[in-house]
Structure formats: structure tokens, C-alpha cells
Structure 1
């Protein structure tokens, strides 16, 4: 029996794109240096607030990859991932969805309004089960989403909910930086995929 291919880790940033001190950036760099196959969705060209542009950017990143992938998304990147899953197919073995924002409730000042998000395609946020295993990591004091709203999204997506405690929006403004739990959650998703029964289909295909 041939060994199961190790998935390429694809990092999906939020609307702020690449931040040097962000845990996604630091983890992607460290894993690449350790020999893992790593890709990061590049900065958006054009209208960053457009959902279609964001989903297309993720799809373009995945298209040339050969073999399984595991998605590592943060903030709006998690919502992009969920919208992508309703439109595209790929050999996705799992997704870590860290601190998804609640785009259906007004966000703090300085963020897009519900009307702007609706005009750009983000809402309504899909609430059908994802076609691959997923973990939603939720913060108890995220300024962009109340815990009960994130828990509701996790239930709708069929995701395992991991409560992180008070970690803000899990970004440099909240003190992260390194987030060691991310790698543990990635390993758990990889193990779940590797231990899937023969004949199962942990992919992005839809019935």
C-alpha cells in the first residue's frame, strides 16, 4: 500500500492580506523551512472587498497544485473558504477556520458595514455543511464576532468547535504573533484525514 501523500498547506489570509508578524505568516515560513509544502494565497489584485475576487484568488492558488491540500484560514479568509467550497472542487483534506468574523452583524467602526459586505457578495454567509473536515477556532472576546454566533456557524458547517478563551481576533493587535495551537490543530486534521476509512472521499466534491 502506498503512503498517503502529505497535504500541501494553503494559508488563506483575511482582508488585510499579509501581515509580517501574523501567526499565519510566521507559521507558513517556519513550516516551509522545515520542508513542508506550503502556499499562501497572494495579495488580491484589484477590489479587495469583492468576494468574487477573493474566491477567485483562492481558486487560482489551488488550481496548479497536484495532490491533497489542507486550508489554514483566518478571519475573512475563513468566510472566503466557505464560499469557495460552495463553488469549486479540490482534494481538500481539511480546513482550520480561525476566528471567522460575523459579517451579518454590524462590525466596529472602521470595518465594512453590513450593506457594503452585502453589496460585495459576502452575505448571506453559507450555512451548509462543508464537504471536508474542519475546525473552527473561536475567541471568547473577538470584537468581530460574538462567541454564540461563531458557534452557530460551526454547527452549520459541521465543524468541530475549539474554544480558545479570550484571544481577541487572534491577530497581532491581540498579541498574536506566534500561535502554537495552530500546528496542533493542523496535525489533528491531517491525522483525521489519514485515518479516514477506505472508500471515503475527503475532498471538495459535491454530490
Structure 2
């Protein structure tokens, strides 16, 4: 799989230097979808940006989403007529955006879209994610039509989880894309 086949969809506040998404961008040449505002994300603006990037591509993309980026994929898929522009999606550590403390920080994101995505997907979740419990991840995987991958105690599956460039995640992405 070529890195430029992959669109990276970071979550709230973007992905920092030690995050697997940043390392994939550096090592594999994946393309990060830049958003207009990482600190005050508006769902409609993020959906429009993803649609713009996907329509500008010559070939369908594979999505590698983390945290709020997972909800971006679901919201985009629920509204777009161009889901054929996605070959598959790796959805990593979706937070529970309907929790009161997150709903206050991310007011335009709830409710969570619950429709099937319309393309192959794998949802990866840790059992001790501080932003969403495993049972919630199981429900999202079911609703979105995603295969669930249990990472055990992996926190929010970010730089703090000590994954480095997360080769297991890259393998999941390659398998999802058919490589």
C-alpha cells in the first residue's frame, strides 16, 4: 500500500509529534487532512473539508481516523453521496461524545451518527480508554458495521499509550485495504 492512499483524520487538537498518525505521515507519506480549527471543531466544517479532499483525489482513499476523527467519518458517511471514494476506514479510539463533559467541549458533534458506513471498516478500542468505555465502542462498531479489534489496556491509543509508530495498526490498515 502506498502511503498517499491513506488519509489521516486526527481528532480534537490534532495529533502531536509522538502520535502514530504523525509517525505514519513521516514514515509512509500518508496525507493528513488539515482542519480549519483543531481546538473548536465544528462538525459541518470538518465534514465539508473531508468531502473536499476526497473529491479532489483521483483514486479512492483509505481512512485512518483517531478519536473525534472516527465521528467525522461516521458523520461524513451519513451525509455524503460519495462514499464510493473510500475503500475502507480504520477507526481508532472513538470517544463517547455524548458524555456531558465532552458534549460541552464539542457541542456540534452530538448526537453520534449510527448508520452503517457503507464501506469496510475496523474499529480499534482499548479497554481502559478515558474518553469512552469499551461497551460504547462495541455499540459503535455494531452500528457502523465495523469489525471490532480489542487492544486490551491501550488507553486512548495515542502517543501516551507508548505505541510508537504502531506496526499492528499499520498491518490492520493494510489488511483492510486488501494489501
TM-score of the superposition, structure 1-length normalised?
0.78
Matched length: 176
Per the alignment, residue 50 of structure 2 pairs with 58
Unaligned runs of at least 5 residues, structure 1 = 33-37, 195-207
Distance 1:46-1:7 versus aligned 2 partners, 3 A rule: closer
Per the alignment, residue 146 of structure 2 pairs with 159
Q: What is the CA distance between 1:44 and its match in structure 2? A: 2.1
Per the alignment, residue 31 of structure 1 pairs with 28
Asked whether 1:93 is paired with 2:91, we answer: no
Whole-angstrom distance in 1 between the partners of 2:37 and 2:3: 30
* 1:123-142 map, 5 Å: 123-142=110-129
* 1:1-207 map, 5 Å: 8-32=5-29, 38-45=30-37, 48-88=40-80, 89-90=82-83, 91-107=85-101, 112=102, 114-117=103-106, 119-120=107-108, 122-191=109-178
Greater Cα radius of gyration, structure 1 or 2: 1
Q: What is the CA distance between 1:18 and its match in structure 2? A: 3.5
172-181 vs 9-18, which deviates more? 172-181
Q: What is the CA distance between 1:45 and its match in structure 2? A: 4.2
Contact 2:7 2:31 in 1 (8 A): yes
TM-score of the superposition, structure 2-length normalised?
0.90
Contact 1:7 1:67 in 2 (8 A): no
Contact 2:70 2:94 in 1 (8 A): yes
Distance 1:142-1:46 versus aligned 2 partners, 3 A rule: closer
- Greater helix share, structure number: 2
Contact 2:3 2:28 in 1 (8 A): no
Distance 1:50-1:188 versus aligned 2 partners, 3 A rule: same
Q: What is the CA distance between 1:10 and its match in structure 2? A: 0.5
Whole-angstrom distance in 1 between the partners of 2:49 and 2:87: 20
Unaligned runs of at least 5 residues, structure 2 = none
Partner of 1:81, secondary structure, is: helix
